[in-house]
């Protein structure tokens, strides 16, 4: 296994670009996933690692010790603790980073049940909020999350972190508000809007009707 011990290594420089710049993620069609749990969830949902960077000293304490056995050795590169600590997004990382190809996030790629439950977001700005809603969607067994006119990149490292891997387990589509409304109307999906000043409590409504 190749071992990288310098921050000046081209692979490390590219990793940093992918972590910090949405433009690079779009151009290269690569996203960075940090954490064995997140990578495990991504792989279980059809994402294939393009490259994996592991710090053996940190990964030895991971709760997913067998994860590397599922990844081709040719895709694995070892990093020294000094290099890994410099590029890790989290303070308490378990020593693994991976590059994945993003999936399609078109509305028509969503596979829905007969009476789907969708969560629709409009103009979400903070990556942490998007990640938290993805966790909620996963817990609520939503069919999908539709993100309309977002002001943050879907694969921002903070979305990945705060979603605890749910970004990869919950189907997500990205569209404009107009596209999403037209798409739902064409499928006879009833919509409800939430606002702070509304007079009805959300938990008193029946959402089970088609």
Structural domains in the chain plus CATH codes? 2-100 (3.30.1330.30), 107-204 (3.40.1280.10)
Q: Is residue 5 helix, strand or coil? A: coil
What's the order of all strands across the beta sheet hosting 118-122?
118-122, 144-148, 172-175
Above pLDDT 70, what percent of the chain? 99
Q: Is the pLDDT of residue 203 over 90?
A: no
Instruction: Give residues with Cβ within 8 angstroms of 131, minimum separation 6.
Output: 158, 159, 160, 161, 162, 163, 164, 166, 167
- Determine the Cα–Cα distance for residues 102 and 45; give it in Å rounded to an integer: 12
pLDDT, tens only, 2-16: 999 999 999 999 999
Of the candidates 165, 136, 171, the residue with the CA atom closest to the CA atom of residue 67: 165
pLDDT, tens only, 15-36: 999 999 999 999 999 999 999 9
Of the candidates 125, 122, 109, 102, the residue with the CA atom closest to the CA atom of residue 24: 102
User: Which carries the bigger pLDDT value, residue 208 or residue 119?
Assistant: 119
Kindly report the average pLDDT of the chain as a whole number. 93
* Per-residue model confidence (pLDDT) at position 210: 59
Q: What is the C-alpha end-to-end distance of the chain, expressed in Å? A: 54
- Please name every residue paired with 146 in a beta bridge, in sequence order, or none if there are none: 120, 173
* Per-residue model confidence (pLDDT) at position 195: 79
**Residue 208, token pair as written in the block:** 């089970």
Q: Is 167 exposed, middle or buried (0-12, 13-18, 19+ CB in 10 A)?
A: buried
pLDDT, tens only, 150-195: 999 999 999 999 999 999 999 999 999 999 999 999 999 999 888 7
């Amino acid at each position: 296994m190749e071992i990288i011990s310098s921050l000046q290594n081209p692979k490390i420089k590219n990793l940093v670009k992918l972590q910090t710049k949405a433009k690079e993620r779009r151009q290269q069609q690569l996203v960075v996933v940090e954490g064995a749990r997140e990578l495990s969830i991504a792989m279980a949902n059809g994402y294939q690692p393009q490259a994996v960077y592991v710090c053996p000293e940190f990964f030895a304490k991971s709760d997913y010790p067998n994860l590397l056995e599922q990844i081709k050795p040719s895709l694995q590169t070892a990093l020294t603790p000094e290099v890994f600590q410099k590029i890790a997004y989290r303070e308490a990382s378990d020593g693994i980073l991976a590059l994945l190809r993003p999936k399609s996030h078109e509305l028509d790629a969503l596979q829905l049940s007969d009476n789907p439950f969708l969560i629709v977001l409009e103009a979400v700005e903070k990556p942490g909020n998007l990640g938290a809603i993805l966790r909620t969607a996963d817990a609520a067994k939503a069919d999908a999350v539709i993100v309309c006119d977002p002001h943050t990149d879907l694969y921002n490292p903070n979305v990945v972190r705060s979603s605890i891997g749910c970004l990869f387990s919950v189907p997500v589509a990205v569209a404009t508000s107009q596209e999403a409304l037209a798409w739902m109307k064409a499928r006879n999906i009833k919509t409800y809007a939430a606002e702070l000043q509304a007079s009805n409590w959300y938990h008193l409504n029946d959402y089970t009707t088609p």
